[in-house]
Every structure is written in C-alpha cells, then in structure tokens.
C-alpha cells in the first residue's frame, strides 16, 4: 500500500473518532481509570522502594547482627563471634520494652542496653549520630541517650538534655539525643548502659543481639559465613539446624523489597481488571461503529478498498482511543502518586520520593495503543469481511 494511501486512511480514522464524540470519551474513561491506577501504584511503589534503599544505605554497610532463633545468646557468644575471621569488634546488646515516666506522663518505650564502650560502633552500625549532647561513656551508670521520637513525639512535654526519665522506677538522666534516620525503631528508643538494662529486665548474662563490625578488606558475606561456622562449631550444630540468625542490612533490604514487590504485584493485578473493562469498552465501541458505518464500508469496498485497508482504519481508530486513554491515565496516575507521596512524607517519618521512570511513561503510552489495537482486531475483521453488495443495501 502506498504511503499516501495510508495517510488518507489515517485521516479518515481520525475523523471518525471525532465524529463519535461523547461515545469515544466514555470509552476512553475506562482506559484512563485502569492506566491511572497502575501508573499510580507502580510509581508509588518505585518511590517507596527507592526511599527504603536510601534508608538502608545509611546503615553501616560493614555490619552484621546476630540474634537468637529458638536458642539464646550470652556473654560467652561474644567471644565466639569475636574470634571469627574478619570480625573487627563485637557489640553486646540487650533490649526490651519498659514503662518510662517523664513529668507525670508514662509510655512504654524500647530500652536498648549496649556496651557503653562501644557506643560509637553501635551508632555507626545503625546509621545514627548524636544530634545534641554526647554519647554514652563507660563510666555512665544512670545516664541515657534518647531517640528523636522520644524527644518530641512521646510524652506530653518535650524531653531535652538533663531531662529525668524514670525507667521502671530507676531514674536516668538524658545526656544526648540521636539524629532521626536509620532504624525507625531506634527513634523511639532510650539507650542505656548494658548492665543497667539487665537490671531493669532481671537478666543475667543474656543478650538479645550481638552487633558485629567487619574488618576493612573483608567481604560482609564472607564474615557472615565465618560467624555462622564458629557458632555452629561451638554449639555442635549442623548447617540448617541453627538456633541463631545472622543478618546484614542487605538481607533486610532484600526481604523488604521482595515483600513490597509481591504486594505491588497483587494490587496491580486487581487494578488491571479496570484495563480489561476498558478494552472491552473499546471493542464494543468499534462494533457499534461498524454497524453505523455499514454503507460507508460498502462504498469504500466498491471503489477499490481492500480488506487490509478496512482493517487498518478500524485498528488505527481503536489504537488511538487506547493511546488517548493511556496519556490521560498517565497524567492522572502521576498526580495521584504525587499526592500519596506528599501525604506519606507529611504525616509519617518516612521520606518517599517521586520517581518518573522513562520506561514507565513510554510503556504506559505504548500499552494503551496496543490495548486498543488488540481490542479492535475482531471488529476490524468483521468490517473487512463484509460483503460490498450487502453493505450498500444496508439501511
């Protein structure tokens, strides 16, 4: 077919779309809803994933955490973990939830007891820093460093340096506050010396976690395997029977992104039902158009139009309807995503970002066109196979 003939057919198809007016726009709405829902969900998901990745990049990349899983950890395990090849230092941690009172207001807080001589290593591993005051020191007994959430979001009054917190009846003086960021749980935490935490929770030499700082020049995964091997050897355990877990920031990040991807996939699958409805709407519109233009189809065939010409007209019309719907849906979807991210950032401590992925934008436009073309295949075949004589006699 000559290029100029294609041009004329495209002009004819465009004119027919404009002629249908309201019916075309009602058909477009179905595609808009489906595309907008998917674009909003995918864009929001990408923004949340990028924010999560950024949060974990702020954590110590050379840190490992050992936690009990069916067993227990104690001070002896510190020595075992510490002798693994590639371990630079180990941090003893005991945590629990306790009632904390401040100026007549009481709340349950996460209390983290840490080896005060390793406070700097602990904060580095958690991606935190001291915002005001100082960190815990080895000679501290009844002092505490609190997270940013405890400062202004927990009690009826803000807590500042030299504030007095009563933790299960024992008074602690605030000597420092933590920056926000890193582990959100730590923003609502009070750090105290390890022995004081054990006294609060009546623990002997137990630990709820061991933090590990990896030596420079060693791969984190390699050191993680060395730690697991040392603990299995000490406990006479076979691989796969461990009563402990070892995790790195990358392990946690992978788990979170996998969960996010699964949830996003399920929601997008549900939203795709709207696209299916939109495709059916395009097909219905094209069938109605064929009925209304039966004589026109007969005239075109009578003057020499072939089946492929008729098919091209209807496929083009269907594709343009789908693409118009996808363009509008793209704009609406990105707008909804922006609004959602604004609400998340405004009313939570999470810092999501808006992602304008070129692949997402181009994919949405092409998908809408392809949806329209696929929806128009059956109607276009029906139009192309019409008998010219019958079409011309149609009233």
The predicted structure's pLDDT at residue 198: 93
How crowded is residue 14: how many other Cβ atoms within 10 Å of its Cβ? 13
- Catalogue the E-assigned strands of the chain: 63-68, 73-74, 87-102, 105-114, 130-133, 143-146, 164-167, 170-178, 189-193, 206-207, 209-214, 244-247
- Give the start-to-end residue ranges of the domains of the chain: 3-56+253-393, 72-242
The predicted structure's pLDDT at residue 55: 65
Within 13 Å, how many C-alpha atoms sit on residue 320's CB side?
18
The predicted structure's pLDDT at residue 98: 92
Nearest 10 degrees: Cα torsion 307, 311, 313, 318:
170
The predicted structure's pLDDT at residue 59: 57
Query: Which residue in the block uniquely carries the two structure tokens 């000597």?
Result: 175
CA distance 361 to 42: 11
The parts of the chain modelled with pLDDT lower than 50 are none
The predicted structure's pLDDT at residue 96: 92
């Amino acid at each position: 077919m000559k290029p100029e003939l294609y041009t004329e057919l495209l002009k004819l198809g465009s004119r027919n779309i404009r002629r249908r007016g309201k019916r075309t726009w009602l058909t477009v709405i179905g595609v808009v809803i489906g595309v907008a829902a998917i674009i909003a969900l995918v864009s929001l998901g990408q923004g949340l994933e990028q924010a999560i990745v950024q949060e974990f990049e702020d954590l110590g990349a050379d840190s490992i955490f050992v936690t009990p899983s069916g067993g227990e950890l104690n001070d002896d395990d510190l020595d075992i973990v510490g002798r693994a090849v590639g371990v630079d230092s180990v941090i003893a941690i005991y945590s629990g939830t306790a009632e904390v009172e401040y100026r007549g207001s009481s709340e349950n807080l996460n209390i983290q007891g840490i080896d005060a001589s390793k406070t700097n290593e602990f904060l580095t591993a958690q991606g935190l820093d001291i915002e005001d005051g100082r960190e815990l020191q080895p000679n501290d007994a009844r002092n505490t460093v609190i997270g940013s959430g405890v400062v202004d979001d927990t009690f009826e009054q803000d807590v500042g340096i030299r504030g007095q917190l009563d933790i299960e009846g024992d008074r602690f003086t605030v000597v420092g506050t933590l920056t926000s960021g890193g582990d959100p749980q730590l923003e609502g935490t009070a750090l105290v010396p390890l022995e004081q935490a054990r006294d609060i929770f009546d623990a002997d030499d137990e630990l709820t976690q061991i933090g590990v700082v990896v030596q420079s020049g060693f791969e984190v995964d390699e050191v993680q395997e060395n730690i697991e091997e040392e603990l299995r050897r000490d406990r006479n355990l076979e691989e796969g029977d461990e009563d402990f877990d070892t995790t790195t920031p990358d392990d946690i990040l992978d788990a979170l992104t996998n969960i996010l991807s699964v949830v996003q996939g399920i929601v997008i699958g549900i939203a795709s039902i709207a696209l299916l409805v939109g495709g059916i709407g395009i097909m219905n519109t094209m069938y109605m158009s064929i009925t209304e233009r039966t004589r026109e189809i007969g005239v075109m065939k009578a003057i020499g139009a072939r089946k492929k010409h008729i098919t091209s007209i209807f496929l083009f019309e269907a594709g343009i309807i789908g693409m118009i719907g996808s363009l509008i849906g793209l704009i609406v979807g990105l707008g909804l995503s922006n609004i959602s991210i604004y609400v998340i950032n405004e009313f939570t401590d999470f810092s999501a970002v808006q992602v304008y992925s070129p692949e997402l934008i181009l994919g949405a436009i092409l998908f809408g066109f392809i949806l329209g073309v696929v929806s128009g295949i059956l109607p276009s075949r029906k139009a192309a196979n019409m008998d010219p004589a019958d079409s011309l006699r149609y009233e």
